[in-house]
Amino acid sequence: MSTDITQHTIWRKAKVMEATSLGATSLYNRMNKNSLWYDPTFPKCFKLSESTARNAASGWLAIEVIAWIQQKKGAVVNDS
């Protein structure tokens, strides 16, 4: 299996947490519009199954997560 990231590569929560260095609570706070730490630029997750269960499998597009990280990295460099 190739480790190359394509436009269709899907990351599950553990991989997104690893890539962003965010814990689970921080990750979900970035997506929660009612959270003080909500970030509208954070990539949206999507369901990977038709299940309506609250804990149904979900994922993020890797390229969107990487782009978000690069955007944040650029913002830090530009603010310095």
pLDDT score recorded for residue 1: 42
Phi, psi of 7, rounded to the nearest 5 degrees: -65, -10
β-strands 10-11, 46-47: how paired? Answer: unpaired
Prediction pTM value = 0.82
Query: Bigger pLDDT: 4 or 26?
Result: 26
Q: What is the pLDDT of residues 17-58, one digit of tens each?
A: 999 999 999 999 999 999 999 999 999 999 999 888 888 899
pLDDT score recorded for residue 61: 97
pLDDT score recorded for residue 4: 74
DSSP 41: T
